[in-house]
Amino acid sequence: MQLPLHIIHLGEERVDRVEKTRDISSGGVCFLSPTDVGVGEKIEYLITLSGSTPPVRIRCLGKVLRSQQPEATESFEVAVTMERYQFVRAEEMAAMAIPV
């Protein structure tokens, strides 16, 4: 299932990057990234569930389990845990300075 995934923090660094999930489960997500991501890094990301108005967003905290580049591709396959999560309202998105 491909859903928008907005990366907010990698380690201590604030980032503003949007990717697409490749696979999602109760334990975490896998996504493709144009750059390598350090294994063991803490990660904060938002998943947007499509098909709802207003959009339903889930803020997740986890860590990078795997980042590998499959043969014959330019992207890295990144697997991250979903250790904590919470649903985020539109007004909370504004407070986080993230575009709604």
Read off the pLDDT of residues 59-80 as tens digits, 9 standing for 90 and up: 999 999 999 998 888 899 999 9
Q: What is the pLDDT of residue 13?
A: 92
Beta strand pairing call for 4-10 and 13-25? antiparallel
Overall fold of domain 4-91 = Thrombin, subunit H (2.40.10)
pTM for this prediction: 0.86
Domain residue spans in the chain?
A: 4-91
Rounded to 5 degrees, φ, ψ at 51 are 90, 10
Read off the pLDDT of residues 7-50 as tens digits, 9 standing for 90 and up: 999 999 999 999 999 999 989 999 999 989 999 999 999 999 87
